[in-house]
Chains A and B, each alone.
Chain A
Amino acid sequence: MAGIYVHIPFCKSKCRYCDFASFPDKLCFAESYMACVYREMAMRKEELKGYTFDTLYIGGGTPSVIDENYIAMLVAAARKNFNIAKDAEITIEMNPGTVSAKKIETYLKCGINRFSVGLQTAVDSQLAELGRIHNLKEFLLCTKLLKGRNFSVDVMIGLKNQTIADIEKTIETAAYSGANHISMYALSPEDGTPIYSDYLNGELPDNDQVAEMYSAGVKKLKELGFDRYEVSNFAKKGFESRHNLNYWRRGDYIGFGVAASSCINNIRFTNTFDLDEYFKCILSNHLAVKDREEVDLAWQEEEFIMLALRTSRGLNLKEYAKLFNKNFTEVYAAAIQKVGTYIEVNGDFLKIKDEFLFIQNSIIVEFLRTE
């Protein structure tokens, strides 16, 4: 498995919780930026000749904020430079406040077959509080345009003044809108974002309350036919995001655009977060890679464990044995013994029991080496 990620760092305005690379005031550079992305792809063409990509994910920022033709050209550029599988999953992230029928038509025409819509919450006052540019009505209009299509909805828990009923309503809204995939993330107040002051002022729900919300959300999602396949991701049967699964199974992926990350052949690297620097590099025919690290075998093993245990399926013991040439249950006998209550083995898979997935860190760290 291999995937392509393209980062579109533009937005209408920055949400209060956002700490991603996005530059609302630089929207006027969209055209030049996209030209650079196409060029960056061309620069990687030779290197990635041997790969077939099963997924293409256009994320942001808000990819839907820029002219839809740039997106169409982007998909075309990807096809021109790389081998994209015929049945590839091609996803674009959308903000309901930036969508039109024409945009969606263009997206479909160029081959995009999956949409990820950021709803976050169905409560307008909470949307305003988050600094989202859309309201519930716009979300409903947006999903009406996507009727019958393959789309996912993002929802958030842990918001200021959010109740369990709000979460249930949000999930129902997402499900009834026709989504076949729902991502439910707990808000993580990062230092440097405006919402961090809410956190410091104790206005956000505490971890115990978030845990309550999460359980309630999981329950509601299950009722509506969405199975959890990763701690924050839920899908109707057969609609799991292949792009995300690729990350958790340590597949290769290549990222284009500012701040995009890649992992090719066990080398992880990330492009610069600085838009100007990105322009400068690409325009002078250089890659814009900033951090680069080789993942040695020990790290590969840790990543494999840490990522696999995030998923509901768990860690594939046979695959582990094949990759690392040892027996997991022997190597980690002590750790397994220690956290035995919280894990279970199902055929070839060792997984964290469903009820403990939300406290997985304390369990996963037992499987990490100490130096």
Chain B
Amino acid sequence: MFKKNHMILLLVCLMFVLSLSSFQLGFAQDEAPATASGAVIQKVDLAAHSAYKDTIIIGVANDITTLDPQASNTDANMMAFELTHETLVQIDPATNEIIPGLAESWEISEDGLTFTFTFPEGVMFTDGVTPFTANDVKYTYDRAKDSSFASAKVSDVVDITVIDDTHISITLSRANQEFLLLMAHKGMSILSEALCTANATEGPWVGTGLFAVNEWLPGDNISFVRNENYRGTVAPTKKIVFKLFKEASTRLIALQAGEIDVCIDPSTIDLDYIKNDASLNLIQTPNVVLLYLAVNNTKPGLDNVHVRKALAYASDKISMVEVGFDGMGTPHNNYINSGQFGLKKDIAVYEYDLEKAKAELELSGFKPGELTFHVMTDKEYKKNMALVLQADLSQIGINLVIDEMETAALKSVLNDAALNYELCIYQWTDADGTDFTVRNMYGSSIKDGVLKKNGSNRAVLTDAALNEMIDAALVEQDKATREQMYFDIEDYLNEIVPIVPFCTSYINIGTGKDVTGAVWRPTAKHDYRLICVPLD
């Protein structure tokens, strides 16, 4: 079959393959300034334009998994809820102040325990026929108590009284200083009692927002159509589509080819393609998502504070940022999210130092080579960070095994009551309330007479002294004292090193040149309600 000189053909074919994959492209850029809160707000003067592009397609990396606001806490879903639903109050993206949402005003009693909200009249759900009343708020919050995702946010609520169709009063068990922040969380989006009881699956999809769900093809795309009956100004864009592209490179190519208007999270290595393309716009702002090494403090070896300090000293955060985000990030040494109230800027830092790490390991009583830990990772960048840690730990004599898992599998191991994990590279994304962060990440509560860790406490920390500090800070009404209390909590955590904070990265968004109107938040939960492309 083969003659001698025909072998050259094989080589020619190989050369063809080689040439296919090696070529370059040739290329300008501008940026909207970030606000004090870190959000990039693209203001659009809706009165100045008369026509907008009908459909905006947003290329996303993560699929929508549910349209029921109380059935999830992932970023991807939150962005859908913001389009379709409304919360009682919302957070001003520029100032982080609480501003009206579905409630036009509210009053707080002297003791800080009772909140009375007033709603506008004649609000309709997006189906156009179901009216909204204060009773729907009571229904929503009662329903939240049964939701494993939303129940923690209403745990302080002891009474909800519907005064009339447009007034409701909510009473708390303690003067929770962050109650309004919790109510602004998308998981507390207001649902319709009538629609939810009529259709348990699709009823919760309907809110009072600027958009309504049009068509949902899980794993492919979801489209939202404008709510023409919205009580305020209707959205400029008729239809918004979230289109799923799992591959970052493909997503960016789709943007460059004009197939989509927005590309979320392009690969950091590819950002120059956006910068150098005159038809595209790169939006960048520091991300507040806290990436950390979750350490199960109850596991043998890891229950030793010196071992945990050794892990902290052996964490080369700069290299991790380099390999995880191509240098686009900042090492993080605090135990709460950057930008949060109470962040201690001058916290003592465990600088990367293998000698100190070795010294700590010696103090722990464990010998080099004696300890082997498993670290769980789910995304490529986390795996790369784990590889950096693996190489450093091997130098001080700790063996690290990387278990790459799918996100769902990793979550089920983390959430499983058996707590069968040692280390995990994980993130904390809810960056609004400091109490919410410290309570969830490090707090515990008494159940059946024993301290049980709170759900997101990945360190499995059950520390009564810490709980008291957290509880005291929550109800402290003097701002400066409260801030100092959080500084103290952070110092306390820094001594016991329950986790090792790693870094924060950047929000990177590529858009078409004319795309405007969106709010790009440092929490990666972007607000697309007013996104548009003006045509005049």
Tell me whether A and B are bound partners: no
Binding site for B on A (CB under 8 A): none
